[in-house]
Amino acid sequence: MNNGNEQYIGKQLADNLFNRSGVFVLPAMTLLNSEHVRLITQHRIILEPHDVIQLDSAAFYQLAVDECTEAMEHIFEEFRYTKSKRLPMLELRNEVIPFIQQVSEKNDFYGILAALQTKDDYTYRHNVAVGILSTLLGKWLKMKPEELSMLTTAATLHDIGKIMIPAEILTKPGPLDTEEFEVMKKHTTLGYEMIRDTVGTTHMQALVALQHHERLDGSGYPFGVLGHRITDFSKIVAVADIFHAMTSDRYYRSAAPLYEVLTQMEENVYGKLDPYICRVFINKLMQSMIGNDVVLTDGRVGKIIMILAHDPLHPLVNIGEDFIDLSKHRKLGIVRVLPQ
């Protein structure tokens, strides 16, 4: 039944919602997802524009990411404490994926990044972040809609195997020792098995859980396979996974500056990532910095006015009357980007 309620997904209820018999349906301030809309429609309620609040972008990103993170926590816990060894895909499709797709549609990288910065729930927020970043990257790589939809689900489930890893290892406030790291590495094979054994998933999605720590030069895990054996989906998720992990505060270290992470990604400091996917990611991120002020290594502040396609990490910067091409002044670099 399509009565137009779907258009209100992603908007917030202005007031408590009751049906015509006075039965309470949903509380005020609910961020509507497809499950809520189904419930509202079941109660024969047709929403009007005045029933909802249109959030500004920053508030929507924050609320959507927080809601998705909470839903991911619930999905993890439900799986952990029930006898079923199948993932609750319906919950994921109704409560997480639509919001990830909506946030990704905005293409506002810095607004989105702010909402992805972890609070004290890195394990769950990271899954949402990698879902959003992979979806953005898939769009930038011009993937078809049906492929993009499969990628979003695969990316959101990439770390699902961590459900089976002891909490003291996941939240250890320091680097893991060799034995602990061997246990941690098992989240890839465990995740593969969990997704493979769940109805409604694909082999490609299971492979992302298995391969997102593999590297093109064979230096990754669990099997150390070479690049030609790693799927494109896994290569995309590997880039998103590393980027969010390095730009987030973790239990054992603070977030690295954004620009430093991009430089290290380009230089393959984190192991061999796919160079084309990395280049598209870095290019798009730098393009979204145009107009931002940046602090240079000599302490001066300038504005990025142009990204050079051949060398995106060394843009053209305007300082007062001067225009400085950082690709020709290699001793000068960007220390950090200032928010607009």
Residue 316 pairs in a beta bridge with 306, 325
d(CA 236, CA 242): 10
| Greatest mean pLDDT among 1-5, 239-243, 261-265, 292-296 | 239-243
Res 331: pLDDT: 85
Amino acid making up residue 254: S
Average pLDDT over residues 303-315: 92
| Greatest mean pLDDT among 44-58, 207-221, 326-340 | 207-221
Q: Which two tokens stand for residue 199?
A: 């109805």
Mean pLDDT for all residues in the chain: 90
CA distances from 127 to 131, 183, 211, 311 (A): 6, 20, 15, 31
Residue 82 confidence (pLDDT) above 80: no
- pLDDT-derived band at 83 (thresholds 50, 70, 90) equals low
| Greatest mean pLDDT among 27-31, 56-60, 116-120, 228-232 | 228-232
Angle at 82 between CA 76 and CA 87, to 5 degrees: 50
- The pair phi, psi for residue 259, each rounded to 5°, is -65, -40
Q: 91 or 108: which carries more pLDDT confidence?
A: 91
d(CA 148, CA 161): 22
- DSSP at 31: B
Q: Where does residue 137 rank: exposed (0-12), middle (13-18), buried (19+ CB within 10 A)?
A: buried
Res 176: pLDDT: 93
Average pLDDT over residues 165-186: 93
What is the percent of the chain where pLDDT is above 70? 96
Res 1: pLDDT: 45
What is the percent of the chain where pLDDT is above 90? 62
- The pair phi, psi for residue 205, each rounded to 5°, is -70, -40
- pLDDT-derived band at 339 (thresholds 50, 70, 90) equals low
d(CA 139, CA 323): 32
Res 10: pLDDT: 84
Residue 2 confidence (pLDDT) above 60: no
Is the distance from CB of 88 to CB of 76 less than 8 angstroms? no
Buried b (16+ CB within 10 A) or exposed e, 244-259: bbbbbeeeeeeeebbb
Query: Can you give the chain as a three-state secondary structure string?
Result: CCCCHHHHCCCEECCCEECCCCCEEECCCCECCHHHHHHHHHCCCCCCHHHEECCCHHHHHHHHHHHHHHHHHHHHHHHHHCCCCCCCHHHHHHHCHHHHHHHHHCCCHHHHHHHHCCCCCHHHHHHHHHHHHHHHHHHHCCCCHHHHHHHHHHHHCCCHHHHHCCHHHHCCCCCCCHHHHHHHHCHHHHHHHHHHCCCCCCHHHHHHHHHCCCCCCCCCCCCCCCHHHCCHHHHHHHHHHHHHHHCCCCCCCCCCCHHHHHHHHHCCCCCCCCHHHHHHHHHHHHHCCCCCEEEECCCCEEEEEECCCCCCCCCEEEECCEEEECCCCCCCCEEEECCC
